[in-house]
Amino acid sequence: MIENMKWTREPDTFTIGDEQIEIVTMPHTDLWQRTYYHFRNDNAPVLQMKTDEKYFSFIVRTDFSESHHRFDQCGIVMYLDSENWLKGSVEFENESFQHLGSVVTNHGYSDWATTAIPADVKVMWYRFSRREDDYCIECSQDGENYTQMRVCHMWEGAGTIRFGIYACSPEDSSFKAVFTDLQLTECAWKAHDGQQPDD
């Protein structure tokens, strides 16, 4: 699987092995579009593979033991272009807590949904699932039991997509992010079994 991944933006320092990817972040790298902050940052390293498969799940384990500065982050990403993408990650905040969260950017505007988790959490698994042009991001601390972070629609996400991993340091910082246990599976996000769709 790793052999099928290609850089959308390549960092200065990285290592790609058969079963592990390491990215050393560069200072002042980020993904964000407009909302609230009124700036646009679009320079984070992104390593992705391409697919037109409509139903699947992508799983990865992230180790961010070296993160230490505000907003240091690494996680999963689906980067279509600068104005259409989503990401899920843990962002370092301080020695007390971090932000476990996700950002969805449609047509050039980002949102940010977060929850606080303890600062001593240094490993997180993510499961990214696709059902046509709808998407789900889940997280897990053990790789077995996943919790939903986000369900969203991507306006430009109906056709061929690119998805994978990213790491960045929005402020004056750098750290090594480690990605392992990458796998593709059948879609673990099952069809809704409640209210029927509208006609």
Q: Is residue 83 part of a domain?
A: yes
What is the domain-level CATH number for residue 58? Answer: 2.60.120.200
Q: Is residue 198 part of a domain?
A: no
Distances (CA, A) of 167 to 132, 156, 160, 183: 26, 23, 23, 18
Q: Is residue 115 part of a domain?
A: yes
Q: Is residue 12 part of a domain?
A: yes
Residue 198 carries which DSSP code? P
Q: Is residue 128 part of a domain?
A: yes
CA distance 163 to 185: 14
Asked if 184 and 56 count as a contact pair (C-beta separation under 8 A), the reply is yes
Per-residue pLDDT at 1: 83
Structure tokens at 56: 């699947």
Per-residue pLDDT at 39: 84
CA distance 108 to 82: 7
Half-sphere exposure of 108 (CA within 13 A, CB side): 2
Q: Is residue 170 part of a domain?
A: yes
CA distance 173 to 9: 18
**Number of compact structural domains in the chain:** 1
Q: Which of 71, 89, 79 is nearest to 126 (CA)?
A: 89
For residue 199, is pLDDT > 80? no
Per-residue pLDDT at 196: 84
Q: Is residue 149 part of a domain?
A: yes
Q: Is residue 193 part of a domain?
A: no
Asked if 194 and 13 count as a contact pair (C-beta separation under 8 A), the reply is no
> pLDDT tens digits for 146-173?
999 999 999 999 999 999 999 999 999 9
> Domain containing 170: what range?
2-185
The single-letter code of the amino acid at 143 is: G
Q: How confident is the model at residue 51 (pLDDT cuts 50, 70, 90)?
A: very high
Asked if 187 and 55 count as a contact pair (C-beta separation under 8 A), the reply is yes
What's the count of helices (H) and strands (E) in the chain, helices before strands? Answer: 0, 17
Q: Which of 194, 138, 180 is nearest to 23 (CA)?
A: 180
